[in-house]
Amino acid sequence: MSARHFLSLMDCTPQELANLIRRGIELKDLRNRGALFEPLKNRVLGMIFEKASTRTRLSFEAGMIQLGGQAIFLSPRDSQLDRGEPISDTAIVMSRMLDAVMIRTFAHSTLTTFAENSQVPIINGLSDDLHPCQVLADMQTFLEHRGSIQGKTVAWVGDGNNMCNTYIEAARQFDFQLRVACPQGFEPKPEFVAIAPERVQIVRDPREAVAGAHLVSTDVWTSMGQEKEAEDRLALFKPYQVSGELLDLAAADVLFMHCLPAHRGEEISFDLLDDPRSVVWDQAENRLHAQKALLEFLIEPAYHHA
């Protein structure tokens, strides 16, 4: 039987995604009640990090431990990946020893190559194209605070990056309208827009995107690997800062999200994370719960043999 992978929100049906989020809420409740729940006892997750991480590493590692399993952290410096072992060879070996592998990488093709050569589930912990685990947590956060996102309007303000691409997939899978406000030349990739053309609108003016929106989300203007462009980006993106005043144009019950880390004074005003409309800390915590639901969904539990 071939393993189920989670490289993109499109790897699940809308129903499966809805179930994952509901399960994330249940697992959160179990943890808050101090209940011991260890379906993944004796299961091991391998984690490959080509990019720095705080939330992704903590949430996957803590999540596996809380589910009764273990997680092993590998950076390219600690493995043969940096010394030129082909990704396909690494995938074959790792998948014979582990029960799942989470990869946080640059090129999305690293994930697809890994998945093609793996006997166990591969999870996208972030690539230059997509960040599906983060948007799963975002969708859980919206559901907890406001109920179903179906039919609502979401505004993405800033760079048409991997988060923006994933929000386009979410617009299709969770059935909402997405308005993207970005500078010329920083649009989301056309192949993602093509997934949900009737649900995505690209505009230049952030006020137009945010008007009446139920959720407003943004991200840093300079992502990992783009440091050389930082100065140019700062000038270009200046009009795209999300502030309390911008949020005032949205729906009265708008929520503000940011996948973190945030650069206060750049993509957000200095005080925005403290705004009562901001749910970024719940959103960050929900990485743990949504991913535990995902791990439980993808990894075969161990059984006692008589």
State the catalytic residues. 104, 131, 134, 219, 259, 287
Q: Is 287 annotated as a binding residue?
A: yes
Q: Is 183 annotated as a binding residue?
A: no
Q: Is 304 annotated as a binding residue?
A: no
Q: Is 259 annotated as a binding residue?
A: yes
Cβ count near 165 (within 10 Å): 27
Q: Exposed, middle or buried, 303 (CB in 10 Å: 0-12/13-18/19+)? A: exposed
Long-range contacts of 14-19 (CB under 8 A, 24+ apart): 14/173, 14/174, 14/175, 16/297, 17/136, 17/139, 17/173, 17/174
Q: Is 260 annotated as a binding residue?
A: yes
268: DSSP letter: B
Q: Is 224 annotated as a binding residue?
A: yes
Selection from 151, 123, 85 nearest residue 287 by Cα: 123
Q: Is 53 annotated as a binding residue?
A: yes
Q: Is 283 annotated as a binding residue?
A: no
Q: Is 214 annotated as a binding residue?
A: no
Pairwise CA distance, residues 162 & 105, whole Å: 12
The token pair at 43 is 């299961």
Binding-site annotation: residue ranges for L-ornithine: 162, 219, 223-224
